[in-house]
Structures are given as C-alpha cells and as structure tokens.
Amino acid sequence: MRFRSLIMLSLSALFVLPPALASATPGDVVAKFSTPGRHPTGLAFDGKSLWLADRRSGLLYEINPSDGQVIRTLTAPSFAVEALACGDGYLYAMDPDAKKIFKFNPKTGITEKEFPIRGAYPAALAFDGKYLWLSGYRDRNLTQLSTEDGTRIRRIPAPDEGCHGLTFDGKYLWYADRLVDKLYMVSPENGDVIVTLDAPGEHCRGLAFDGKYLWNVDYVSDTLYKIVRDDGTKFIRTDGKKEKLEFVQEIRNLGPGLVTSSDIYLAIPKNLPGQQLLSPPKFTPEPTDVVTDQWGQKSVHYHFRDVAAGKMVAAKMNAEVELFTVRYFLFPEKIGALADVPKEVKDRYLQDGSKFWVSDPFVQRTARQIVGNETNCYRIARKILDYVTGKIKYDLDGVWDIAPTVLKRGSGSCSEYSFVYIALCRAAGLPARYVGSVVLRYDDASTDKVYHRWPEVYLPNYGWVPIDPSSGRGIFKNPAEKSNVIGYRLNKYLITTIGGGPSEHLGWEYNANDLWQYKGPCKVQSTRYGEWEPLEPKKEEPPRGAAR
C-alpha cells in the first residue's frame, strides 16, 4: 500500500493548475461608439482626433476619441471615399470608384492634389511617416506609394485577400481582414504576420492607431471600436473542449519463442497552457514504478516477465482533459536576445543529440547562413522557420534520419522536421526542444495511431513557445496562414511528452515506449493507439422514489 501511495503522490504532483491568465488581453474592446453615418469606411487619427469617412453621405467626420462625439463635419474630396490616412497635417482620401487618392487639407477643406492608383478594388490606406501603403479586396499585395504622385516604391505580400483597413503603429502595419474577421500586425519589411487579433465585429473596415490603442470601424453595426493593442498578456486560451482519452500500448508475442522480459513506459501528461487535466490520469494495471528522465519527463513504468507465445501484455492510460486553442502575442521588441536566455536553459537545451548532429559542419554552416548577425531570439526562430519550410517537403515514410540527412534530402516527417529545426536553432545558440502529443483527429470521437511532434523555442520574457514547421505539411497559402505555426495551437492536441533529446526511458519516442528481450525465434508485435470520446456532463440522478 505504501508503494501504491508513493506512485499516486508522484502522479498527483503533476496535477497543478497553471498560473491565472490576465483578464484583459490584446484585441479586447475597451470602448465603443455609434458612428455618425450609416456607411462608415475609412478611419484615421491625426494625433488628436479620429477622422471617419462615410461612403454614402460623402462626408468626413472629425470625432473626439474620448466620447465619440462629432467635432465637425467636412465635405469629402470625392463621392465614395473608402479609405483615409493622416500624414504631415493632411488627410489622404482614397476613392476606389474614381481610382484616385486625394491630398486633402482638413484646415481649409481644400483638395490640394490628386493622383491615380491601380488595383481591382483598392479599399485601405495608411501612412508610415514618409510613404503611403495601399491594399484592397482580393489584393495579394501591400503596395508602398510616394505621396508626391503615387509612384510605386515596393510591394510586400499581403496577409490574405480581404483587406478593408490599414494603419501604421510607428513600426508595424496593421491590416483588417474582412473575410476572416482578423486584425494582423505585419512587418513592413517583408510582409510577415507577427500578431493576430480577432476583429471586434464581422464587417471590419477602417483602422487607426492613436499611439496606444487600435481603432476599428464596422460597416454593418455602424460601430467604432477602441481596441487593446498590447497590455502585456503573453497568451490567451479559448474554445475549451472536454474530452476523455484511452491510450494503450500493447506487446504481443506471436511466437514461437518466449519473451523473457518486456518493459512499457507511458508518458504522463501535465497541465500546460493548451491543456487542463480534469483529474489525475489513471493507469492500469498498477505500474511497477514512476520514473523521471534527464529532461524532467515523468513516465509510468511496467515490467513484465515470461510472455509466452500467443500472449499479450498491455498498459493503459485513461485521462479526462480540457483542450484549448492557444494564441501567443509575440511582440519582437519585447523578446530578448540570446544573451538574455538563462544559463540553465542553455546548458540543457543547446546539447547535441544523435538525431540532431548540431556539431555537423553542414548544420553549423547552414545555421550561420540563415541567421547571420541576428541576436533577437524571435527573429532567429522566424528565419530558421522560413528556411526549413522552404527547403523541406512533408513525407511520412516510417523511418527517421538524422537532421543533416533530412535537410540535404529535402523531405521528412513531423519528427524529422523537428530534428532539423531543433538542430539549426541549437547551432545558432537558440535553445529548442520538442513536445509529443496524442491528436484528436477529424471529430470528437476518433482514433489516433499517427500522433504528432513539434518543436518549442525558448523566447526570453515569454518562455517556451510552440513553433510547428510541419503544420499543414509545411504548405502555406499566404503569410496569415504561415503565422499560425508560431505561438498558436488548436484545441486538438494532448501533449504527453516534453523532451530535449534521447530519453533514458522513452528513447526518441514520445507518448510511449516499449522494450523486450526473447529466447529463441520470436516475432513481437508492438501496437499503440489513442481512443477519444467527448466528455459529456454527468446527468443528475432523480431523487429516489421520483418518477422517471
């Protein structure tokens, strides 16, 4: 009994609630006002007031951001203004029907200049302090324009194709996507989507930034929203889904010899940002012991002896969990450099491993070529992600090769993507590790026999953050889709395993591992699978004697 109590105590130690999440998060609406017109489109901020265009009335409204009241009303320089931008004391107004941008003086109400624009349906405009940025519906690009005459300066990829609002926050562009109801923070250097927020309404149009908050106007609800850009929240979790999992590892002796000894290890899941154990996992039969490897991963261990031909031994975990969708808000300027990574993290997660080959000259040379002189941990992780997803195609052939082989070949499974990504990160000095999971596939009652593994990187001021280069088989239609492999996880993964390399118990496996020895000719079959079912709330039993 004392031994069983020690096992249960060890399991219960994993059942600890995660830190409480902040109540306010990026994307939260902190104020909202009704718009003065019924067809609001363009929005801009001049340093003191908001300016709002109304497409049908042909008016521009100056609005007090503290109470939403109209300060004054001006006649717009064109009949159907869709977008506004403020710069150098002027309002730049864009009319997609006229295919023109107007340089409008709000002090005099006079249009001082106009120039033509191109595009099937331009709908958004921003000013970055020197140049204008233009995009629109079904436009795959963001185009930088001269304020002198609209000359094109350069183009970068747009996050998606539904742009109806743009603004500039002093360093990044923000993009309102009407089709998917998202607000994207975009690098003006290359179009990378860095932060994603949910739009406050379903028909988002103009965007503005007042130095602290984002503002967004909704075309159907006729509402002006004041939105938190960054309040220090590191991540949020949403869409909780309660499930129960039965995970089984079997060893079957098909004979004719005797399996003299066999061992099964089942990794023990714990509470993480994307998962909450509703009770400690239950293991059957009773484990031999609970063990911890050099990475801190706990597993239950079973030892069996003398498994005769035609016999089977098995170990089972039953877990009741709530799975969450997790999104991190990764602002690069808040993420430290390599020098900011704690020494104990570097000591553990910069080590080499037999699948990584970090010290291999090809891996070392490739890491230097990718990273260059970059020291910001986020940008290093992003550069390596771009390289790996550009070089490797997904291929599940059932065999694992070492990182340099996979990289030279240009194809691999999720585990091989992880080996390559971790090897390059460690070669660049960025600590990286992997996590392994059982996956909720297709629907809430399904079987998983494939599982999934992906890397995590250590980002100072944030901690461990998921990056999955093999997500979607490494194929991304646009920058918005690619951004979802960085700091984002859907509510369909139960992480069981956290490792930095070969484990003394799990080896290079995850979720489970098994080992055996036998005497004489013997065929041994190893099988593992996960069975998911939705965890429905228990129905209350009627009182005794009550009618049923």
Lowest mean pLDDT among 173-187, 207-221, 440-454: 440-454
Please state whether beta strands 393-394 and 411-412 pair in parallel, antiparallel, or not at all (unpaired). parallel
Q: Which of 502, 497, 482, 415 is nearest to 450 (CA)?
A: 415
Q: What is the pLDDT of residue 394?
A: 85
Q: How far is CA 202 from CA 25, 181, 182, in A?
A: 19, 6, 9
Residue 12 reports pLDDT greater than 90: no
- The structural domain count of the chain equals 3
Give the separation between CA 418 and CA 524, rounded to whole angstroms.
29
Q: Say whether both 226 and 274 belong to one domain.
A: no
Residue 212 reports pLDDT greater than 60: yes
Q: Which of 298, 289, 378, 294 is nearest to 332 (CA)?
A: 378
Q: What is the mean pLDDT of the chain?
A: 93
Q: What is the pLDDT of residue 395?
A: 83
Q: Say whether both 360 and 464 belong to one domain.
A: yes
Tell me, yes or no, whether 544 lies in a domain: no
Q: Say whether both 159 and 62 belong to one domain.
A: yes
Tell me, yes or no, whether 494 lies in a domain: no
Q: Is 354 helix (H, G, I), strand (E, B) or coil?
A: coil
Number of Cβ within a 10 Å radius of residue 371: 22
Q: Say whether both 422 and 449 belong to one domain.
A: yes
DSSP 187: -
Tell me, yes or no, whether 540 lies in a domain: no
pLDDT, mean of residues 441-457: 93
Contacts of 43 (CB under 8 A, 6+ apart): 50, 51, 52, 53, 84, 165, 167, 205, 206, 207, 208, 215, 216, 217, 224
Q: What is the pLDDT of residue 118?
A: 83
Residue 8 reports pLDDT greater than 70: no
Strands (E), 39-82: 40-45, 50-54, 59-63, 70-75
Q: Say whether both 475 and 407 belong to one domain.
A: yes
Tell me, yes or no, whether 6 lies in a domain: no
Write the CATH number for 376.
3.10.620.30
Is residue 401 very low, low, confident or very high in pLDDT (cuts 50, 70, 90)? very high
Q: Which of 170, 202, 208, 209 is nearest to 83 (CA)?
A: 208
504 vs 3, which has greater pLDDT?
Answer: 504
Q: Say whether both 529 and 452 belong to one domain.
A: no
Percent of the chain with pLDDT over 90: 88
Q: Say whether both 338 and 309 belong to one domain.
A: no
Is residue 546 very low, low, confident or very high in pLDDT (cuts 50, 70, 90)? very low
Give the separation between CA 313 and CA 467, rounded to whole angstroms.
36
pLDDT tens profile 483-506: 999 999 999 999 999 999 999 999
Q: How far is CA 351 from CA 105, 159, 405, 431, 498, in A?
A: 61, 36, 19, 9, 15
Residue 544 reports pLDDT greater than 90: no
Q: Say whether both 210 and 67 belong to one domain.
A: yes
Give the separation between CA 519 and CA 337, rounded to whole angstroms.
55
pLDDT, mean of residues 268-282: 98
Lowest mean pLDDT among 17-26, 35-44, 229-238, 249-258: 17-26
Give the separation between CA 21 and CA 30, rounded to whole angstroms.
18
Q: Is 331 helix (H, G, I), strand (E, B) or coil?
A: coil
pLDDT tens profile 139-167: 999 999 999 999 999 999 999 999 999 99
pLDDT tens profile 174-198: 999 999 999 999 999 999 999 999 9
Write the CATH number for 190.
2.130.10.10
Joined together, the tokens standing for residue 343 give: 């020494």
Full-model pTM = 0.91
Q: What is the pLDDT of residue 2?
A: 41
Tell me, yes or no, whether 542 lies in a domain: no
pLDDT, mean of residues 420-442: 97
Last residue of a domain, one of 198, 230, 262: 230
Q: Say whether both 163 and 87 belong to one domain.
A: yes
Q: Say whether both 307 and 373 belong to one domain.
A: no
pLDDT tens profile 98-140: 999 999 999 999 999 999 998 778 999 999 999 999 998 889 9
Residue 398 reports pLDDT greater than 50: yes
Residue 542 reports pLDDT greater than 90: no
Percent of the chain with pLDDT over 70: 94
Give the separation between CA 380 and CA 486, rounded to whole angstroms.
13
Number of Cβ within a 10 Å radius of residue 173: 25
Residue 11 reports pLDDT greater than 80: no
- The tokens 């930095």 sit on which residue? 500
Q: What is the pLDDT of residue 21?
A: 45
- The three state secondary structure string of 386-451 is HHHHHHCEECCCCCCCCHHHHHHHCEECHHHHHHHHHHHHHHCCCCEEEEEEEECCCCCCCEECCC
Q: Say whether both 270 and 159 belong to one domain.
A: no
To the nearest 10°, report the CA torsion of 144, 145, 151, 152: 10
CA gyration radius, the chain:
28
Tell me, yes or no, whether 270 lies in a domain: yes
Q: Is 468 helix (H, G, I), strand (E, B) or coil?
A: coil
Write the CATH number for 308.
2.60.40.2250
Number of Cβ within a 10 Å radius of residue 427: 26
Q: What is the pLDDT of residue 541?
A: 53
The secondary structure element, H or E, covering residue 304 is strand 298-307
Tell me, yes or no, whether 3 lies in a domain: no
pLDDT tens profile 33-51: 999 999 999 999 999 999 9
Contacts 24+ apart (CB under 8 A), 392-400: 392/416, 392/417, 392/420, 392/469, 392/474, 393/473, 393/474, 394/470, 394/473, 394/474, 394/475, 396/450, 400/355, 400/508
Tell me, yes or no, whether 547 lies in a domain: no
Is residue 477 very low, low, confident or very high in pLDDT (cuts 50, 70, 90)? confident
Is residue 548 very low, low, confident or very high in pLDDT (cuts 50, 70, 90)? very low
Q: Which domain holds residue 408?
A: 334-486
pLDDT, mean of residues 383-390: 95
pLDDT tens profile 331-367: 999 999 999 999 999 999 999 999 999 999 999 999 9
Q: Residue 516: what residue type? A: W
Q: What is the pLDDT of residue 370?
A: 97
